[in-house]
Structure 1
Amino acid sequence: MRMDPVRALASIREELDRRGHNRVRIVVVTKTHGPELIETLLKAGHREFGENRFTEARAKFALVHAQAIQPIYHHLGPLQSGFARNLPGLFHVVHGVSSASALESLLKAARRHFEATGEGMQYLMQLNLTAESSKLGGMSEEQFLQCRESLPSEEALTWRGFMTMGPTDQDAKRTSEVFRRLRQIRDEHLPDGELSMGMSGDWQLAVEEGATIVRIGTAITGTRAGGPWMPESG
Structure 2
Amino acid sequence: MSRQIMLIPAAGVGQRFGAGRPKQYVDLAGRTMLEQTVNRLSQIDGIDLIVIVVSVDDGYIDEVISAANWSAHVHILRCGGASRAETVKNGLYTARTLFGLQPEDWILVHDAARCCVRTDSVLRLIQAVHSDAAGGLLAVPVSDTLKLADETGHVCRTIDRTAMWQAQTPQMFRLGILIQALDNADLSTVTDEASAVEALGFQPLLVMGDVANLKITTMQDLALARFFLQQETT
TM-score by length of 1: 0.29
Question: More helix by proportion, 1 or 2?
Answer: 1
TM-score by length of 2: 0.29
